[in-house]
Amino acid sequence: MNAIIDQDDNQSPEYAIHTRKLNLWYGTFQALFDVDLSIRNGMITSLIGPSGCGKSTFLRSVNRINERLGYVRIEGDIDVLDNNIYDPAVELVQVRKQIGMVFQRPNPLPISIRDNILFGHRLHNKGSKADQDEIVESALKQVLLWDKVKDRLNHKGTELSLEEQQKLCIARLLPVKPSVLLMDEPCSALDPKGTAAVEELIWELRGEYTILIVTHNMAQARRASEECIFMLMGKVIEHQATEDLFVTPAQKETADYIEGRYG
């Protein structure tokens, strides 16, 4: 595993997400096998692999949204910023606050653009009305959406184009100051132009947030991530700097996959 950029900030841990022997079952079907991953703080890491390889499952266990299904059983640990999120003392609301999630299909709420941005902020900051305009402006600026929507902040978020909706979905996570952003195929519902725009935005957010992005699109993984993880049948096959993984894969399965022999 090669480090591309060494994090010289001593305050924050080297790894944002760290799993040990993570096993996950849906009922009797085992979806993850002994996953040991260390995902670097402040970097963009992509997860690739054929359908059903467990990449989305892994993503969804990092913010504990999987367990809502009821029939999911998990063994092993997931540490986020050195705290085990499966510890019984952990408050789920705090987990969700630290770890934002972006979905495949943009899901803005059917309220105004402004209220979409402030939704999370209002959940976590009781009664503080101050600075709301600033919060909205800075979040929308960060996702490169401000100039397009500043004159129609009262329009519904659901009226925007898909690309803008997805950016809005990313923007609304920012006011609660998460440290990790999980993205589950964030561009697969978008056209090529929208994809490029959202990728550009993800790249902009690099450094400030740890971003873990699941994608079916190998070219996207290559363009828009710094480290890349290849998964197959619920196991991690390879985890390398993106450039190395695509140029000199260490495992045969990885080479076969990136050359398009399956998946």
Query: Cβ of residue 97: shortest distance to other proteins, in angstroms?
Result: 5
Q: What are phi and psi of 24, to 5 degrees?
A: -140, 135
Gap between the Cα atoms of 240 and 22, Å rounded: 19
- Residues in 132-171 that interact with other proteins by CB under 8 A: 156, 158-159, 169
Residue with Cβ nearer other proteins (1 or 92): 92
Site string for other proteins, 110-129 (x = CB under 8 A): xx-------xx--xx-----
CB 59 within 8 A of CB 212: yes
Residue with Cβ nearer other proteins (16 or 102): 102
- Find, among 146, 144, 123, 148, the residue nearest to 133 by Cα: 146
The token duo for 249 is 């894969």
- Inter-CA distances, 77 with 43, 153, 158, 195, Å: 21, 42, 37, 34
Residue with Cβ nearer other proteins (40 or 96): 96
Site string for other proteins, 61-80 (x = CB under 8 A): --x-x--x-x----------
Gap between the Cα atoms of 156 and 212, Å rounded: 28
Residue with Cβ nearer other proteins (120 or 249): 120
Q: Does residue 174 bind other proteins (CB under 8 A)?
A: no
Q: Which stretch binds other proteins (CB under 8 A): 26-34, 78-86, 109-117, 202-210?
A: 109-117
Helix (H, G, I), strand (E, B) or coil at 210: strand
Q: Which stretch binds other proteins (CB under 8 A): 44-52, 95-103, 206-214, 229-237?
A: 95-103
The token duo for 226 is 């710094």
CB 61 within 8 A of CB 74: yes
Q: Which stretch binds other proteins (CB under 8 A): 99-107, 201-209, 231-239, 251-259?
A: 99-107
- Among 54, 108, 194, 249, which residue interacts with other proteins (rule: CB under 8 A)? 108
